[in-house]
């Protein structure tokens, strides 16, 4: 049986009265749902206050973002001052208003140092599973004429070639074989690799050769540096390469001055004198 209730969309009193008289349980359920939704939905003031509240230092999200920024700076060789850059700070604020951007001082004195310790520990654990390691050593000077020594390690891990930086620090004092050897031994000792080094690769400098000539793993000269020296000697005064280039240059000059020679070589392409 169907019942019809008269009413208007602008005046709903008839519908409400009908629900109260005939379907009180339905009306009560609707009121309960409305009350629950009202209780669960935060007010605008509460939302704004939550957005203003910054993460605590122990918050997992704060720690995760901070760690990501530290790795970004370290892996990308970015300057530590980037955390003071206004555009970088605006970017982080847009991505997460509650995130507290670390200061440059905190990044330098704590975060980078802690991350370095974590990486060194992970490298030590990886080296424990490695049978042999080859190292490369190089010395160079900065534009400020400060000496630096860099030592890298290369090894096979689970059938993959791994290359890591074992040390890169300022080299003070004279670049003698004894000082080079001391820096090498200190770095290797840090990672407990003394018994696992099989090859040492350096340039052809006399101090490098002297530092690793006795009672140490096999020393090899860098092939790229040896090739560079060979090419340099070839281009040097009296070198064979210069003689060959001079003869070729003379041929090109002759052809460019001779109509007959140019006609003979017309179909052979153009000759260019690079000197």
Could you tell me the domains of the chain? Answer: 52-123 (no CATH), 130-228 (3.30.420.10), 238-268 (no CATH)
Rounded Cα distance between 203 and 225, Å, is 6
pLDDT tens digits for range 2-57: 555 566 666 666 666 766 776 677 667 666 666 666 655 555 554 454 556 899 98
Pairwise pLDDT comparison (168 vs 44), residue with the higher score: 168
The closest alpha carbon to 106, from 60, 66, 148, belongs to 66
Beta bridge partners of 218: 199
State the average pLDDT over residues 122-135: 93
Two tokens, residue 191:
């990672």
Rounded Cα distance between 117 and 137, Å, is 22
pLDDT tens digits for range 176-208: 999 999 999 999 999 999 899 999 999 999 999
Beta bridge partners of 200: 135, 219
196-219 CB burial, b ≥16 within 10 A, e <16: bbeebbbbebebbeebbeeeebeb
Q: Strand, helix or coil at 44?
A: helix
Two tokens, residue 87:
């555009």
pLDDT > 80? residue 274? no
pLDDT tens digits for range 64-87: 999 999 999 988 989 999 999 999
Whole-structure pTM value = 0.61
Rounded Cα distance between 83 and 81, Å, is 5
- Chain centroid to CA 11: 68
Rounded Cα distance between 14 and 151, Å, is 88
């Amino acid at each position: 049986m169907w019942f019809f209730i008269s009413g208007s969309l602008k005046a709903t009193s008839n519908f409400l009265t009908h629900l109260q008289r005939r379907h009180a349980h339905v009306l009560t359920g609707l009121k309960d749902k409305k009350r629950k939704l009202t209780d669960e939905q935060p007010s605008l003031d509460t939302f704004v206050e939550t957005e203003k509240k910054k993460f605590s230092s122990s918050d997992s999200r704060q720690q995760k973002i901070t760690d990501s920024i530290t790795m970004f700076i370290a892996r990308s060789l970015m300057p530590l001052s980037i955390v003071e850059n206004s555009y970088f700070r605006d970017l982080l604020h847009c991505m997460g208003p509650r995130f507290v951007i670390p200061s440059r001082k905190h990044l330098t004195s704590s975060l980078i140092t802690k991350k370095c310790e974590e990486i060194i520990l992970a490298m030590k654990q990886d080296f424990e599973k490695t049978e042999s390691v080859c190292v490369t050593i190089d010395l160079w000077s900065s534009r400020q004429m400060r000496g630096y020594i860099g030592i890298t390690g290369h090894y096979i891990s689970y059938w993959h070639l791994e290359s890591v930086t074992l040390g890169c620090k300022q080299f003070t004092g004279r670049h003698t074989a004894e000082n080079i050897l001391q820096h090498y031994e200190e770095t290797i000792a840090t990672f407990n690799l003394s018994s696992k080094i099989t090859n040492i690769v350096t340039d052809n400098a006399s101090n490098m050769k002297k530092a690793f000539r006795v009672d140490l793993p096999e020393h090899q000269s860098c092939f790229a540096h040896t090739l560079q020296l060979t090419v340099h000697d070839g281009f040097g005064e009296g070198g064979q390469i210069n003689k060959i280039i001079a003869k070729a240059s003379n041929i090109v000059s002759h052809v460019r001055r001779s109509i007959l020679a140019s006609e003979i070589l017309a179909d052979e392409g153009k000759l260019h004198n690079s000197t």
